[in-house]
Structure 1
Amino acid sequence: MQFRTTVALVLLAMSPLAFGDDIESWDGEGEVGVLITSGNTEETNINSRIALKYEEAEWRNTGEFRSAYSRSDDVTTAEKYRANLQSDYKFEGSQYVFVRGAYEDDRFSGYDFQSSLTTGYGNQIWQRGEDSFLDLSAGLGYRFNKLEEPDSDGNRDEEEAIARLAGQFDCALSENALFRQKLSTEIGLDENNTVTESETSLQATVVGNLSMKLAYLVQHISDEPEGADDTDTEISLSLLYGF
C-alpha cells in the first residue's frame, strides 16, 4: 500500500510539469475505437487513449492514459485501465535523464493492480526530420503489484527492484503516414519476473488532424499469476485526433 501511494503521489507531483499553462508548448493526441455487433453474438469493444506532451528547452513531460473494454452477450470479457507519466530533463543535445511512474488495473490479469517507479538515462540516438527518430532508454526502479488471490505462500504483495529497457522507433513513410514501434521490458532483479510489451502501429491522415490508426499490442509476463495467461494481445482500429 505504501508503494502504491508513493506512485500515486509521484504521478500527481509530475502532473503540473506535464500540464503547464503555456499553450504553445502543448502537443497531444486522442483516439477512440468502437465496435458493436448484434445478431447471433452481441458484442461491444471500446478502446480509448489520450497522450499529452509539454516540452520546453530543458524539460519534456509526457503522460498517457488508456482504457480497453469488451462485452459479449452481456458478459464483460475485458476491462483494463492504464496510466503513465514521465518527466525528462534534457542535456547535451538529445540526451536526458528521466523519472517514470506507471499504474495498471486489469480486471482479468490476476492482479488487483500493477505499479512501478523507475529513473534512468535516455538518448535519441538518431533523427531525420521532425517525425522520424530512434529513442533508447535504460533505468532502475521498483515494482509493486497486488494479486487478486494469495499465492501458494499466502502472500498477495509482489515487490522487487527492476531494470527497465525501452525504445521507440518512429518512421515517417510519407507526409500522411507514420509507422511506430514501441518496445519495453521490465526485468525483476529479485524474483526474475519479466514484463515485456511491444506495440506496432501504422497511422494515416484522413483529413486535417484526423487519422486512422491500426495497432497491434502484445504484453508478456514471464511469471504470471495462477489461472492467468502469460501473454495478452490487442488488435485495434481507431480514429486519432492530433492537437
Structure 2
Amino acid sequence: MRIWIVPLLAVVAAPALAKPIPSAVAAMIEAARNDPAKLAVVAEMARATNPGSVREINARIAAINADRARAREQALAEQRYYEGWKGSGEVGGFASSGNTNTQGVALGVNLSKETRQWKHAARGFVDYQRQDGVVSRERYLASYQGNYNINPSMFSLLAVSYEKDEFSGFEHRFSQSLGIGQKLVAGPRLLATVEGGPALRQTQFTDGLNETNFAARVAGNVRWQLSERLKLTEDASYFYDGNNNSLQALTALNAKINGSLTARLSHQINTESNPPLGRRNSDQVSRGTIVYSF
C-alpha cells in the first residue's frame, strides 16, 4: 500500500499542466512580433481570453522579446555612422494667441539615431506668418541632444539649441546644457524620463540688451501609446537663471493614418518670466499637422 503513496502524492501536488496556446492566438502573437506596443496589447488579450495558457503565453512573449533584444544589439554593433538614422517631416497650420493672434504655416523635421551607447536627436521647427506684407509671427528653433547610456535606466546628456522669436522678445538665444537623465517608466506602452543639469544661455533681446547667464535646466518627456494607432506625447523644459526664466511645453496627440503618415494635434506653451517692455509673458500655439515618417 505504501508503494502507491509517494507517486499519488506527487501527482496531487504537481501543478496542472499549462494548456497549449491556441493556433489562432499564436498567429496573432507572431503577427505582432516586430511591434512592441502592439505585442503588449495582444499579450494582454491572449492572457485574458486563455487563462489556462498564461504560462505558455508568457514564455512565448519572453522569447520574442529576447530575440528582439539580441537582434537589436547585433544591428547596432554592425551599423556604420551614416546608417540607422530615422526621421519625420511635419507640415500644417496653426492658430496662436498671446503676443500675436494669427494663422499660418508650421514646418518641422526630426532626426534620430541610436548606437549601443548613444542616442542622438535633432529637431528643427518653423512657425511663420506673413500678412499684408508684414510678418506677424516668426519663430525658429533648432536643437540637438545626445544621450550617453550609463545603464539601462540612466544616461548623461549634452543639449544645445538655437531660438529666434521676436514676438516673445528676443532676436536670438543660444542654450547649452549638460546633465543626467533618468527613465522613470520604461514599458512597451509608456516611457517617462526626467532630466536635469546646469546650462549656459546667451540671449539678444529685441530692446538691444544682451545677456549671458548660467542657469539650471529641468526637462521631462512622456510617450504613452494609448492604442495601436493613438499616442500621446509631452515634452517640457524649464530654464531658471534668476533673471528671465523660460518654460516650453509641447503636448501632442498622434493618430496613425498608415505606416508612414500620422495626423497630429498639438498645443505649445512658451513663457518668459521677464520679457522686454510691451511683451506678454506667455504665448500659446495650437497646431494641426501631418507627419511623414521615413
TM-score range, shorter chain: 0.7 to 0.9
Q: CA deviation at 1:177?
A: 0.8
C-alpha contact (below 8 Å) 2:221/2:234 kept by paired residues: yes
SS, match of residue 91 in structure 1: strand
Q: CA deviation at 1:144?
A: 0.6
Correspondence for 2:98: none
Correspondence for 1:201: 252
Aligned residues: 209
Equivalent residues in 2 for 1:69-84 (5 A)? 69-84=128-143
Correspondence for 1:220: 271
Q: CA deviation at 1:181?
A: 1.2
Equivalent residues in 2 for 1:45-64 (5 A)? 45-64=104-123
- Alignment-mate amino acid for residue 109 of structure 2: I
Q: Does 1:30 align with 2:89?
A: yes
Equivalent residues in 2 for 1:85-124 (5 A)? 85-124=144-183
Q: CA deviation at 1:219?
A: 0.6
Q: CA deviation at 1:87?
A: 1.1
C-alpha contact (below 8 Å) 1:44/1:71 kept by paired residues: no
Spell out, residue by residue over 1:111-142, the C-alpha distance to the aligned partner (whole angstroms, 9 max, x if none): 1111110000001121121x520011001011
Moved over 6 A (4+): none
SS, match of residue 108 in structure 1: helix
Correspondence for 1:135: 193
Correspondence for 1:157: 210
Q: Which runs of 5+ in 2 are unaligned?
A: 1-79, 95-101
Query: For residues 109 and 260 of structure 2, what CA distance do their matches in structure 1 show?
Result: 15
- Alignment-mate amino acid for residue 223 of structure 1: N
Correspondence for 2:240: 187
Spell out, residue by residue over 1:85-110, the C-alpha distance to the aligned partner (whole angstroms, 9 max, x if none): 01111121121101111110113222
Identity %: 25
Question: Which stretch of the first structure deviates more once superposed, 104-113 or 132-141?
Answer: 104-113
C-alpha contact (below 8 Å) 1:20/1:54 kept by paired residues: no
Spell out, residue by residue over 1:61-96, the C-alpha distance to the aligned partner (whole angstroms, 9 max, x if none): 110000001133443210111111011111211211
Q: CA deviation at 1:172?
A: 0.3
Name the larger-Rg structure: 2
- Alignment-mate amino acid for residue 76 of structure 1: V
SS, match of residue 229 in structure 1: coil
Q: Does 1:148 align with 2:199?
A: no
Query: For residues 26 and 20 of structure 1, what CA distance do their matches in structure 2 show?
Result: 9
- TM-score, normalized by length of structure 1? 0.81
Equivalent residues in 2 for 1:6-17 (5 A)? none
Q: What is the alpha-carbon root mean square deviation over aligned residues?
A: 1.8
Query: For residues 198 and 226 of structure 2, what CA distance do their matches in structure 1 show?
Result: 34
- Alignment-mate amino acid for residue 90 of structure 1: N
Q: Does 1:65 align with 2:128?
A: no
Q: Which runs of 5+ in 1 are unaligned?
A: 1-18, 36-42, 151-155
Q: CA deviation at 1:44?
A: 5.9
C-alpha contact (below 8 Å) 2:166/2:206 kept by paired residues: no
Q: CA deviation at 1:202?
A: 0.1
- TM-score, normalized by length of structure 2? 0.68
C-alpha contact (below 8 Å) 2:168/2:272 kept by paired residues: no
Query: For residues 196 and 109 of structure 1, what CA distance do their matches in structure 2 show?
Result: 12
- Alignment-mate amino acid for residue 178 of structure 1: K
- Alignment-mate amino acid for residue 238 of structure 2: T
Query: For residues 203 and 274 of structure 2, what CA distance do their matches in structure 1 show?
Result: 13
SS, match of residue 91 in structure 2: strand
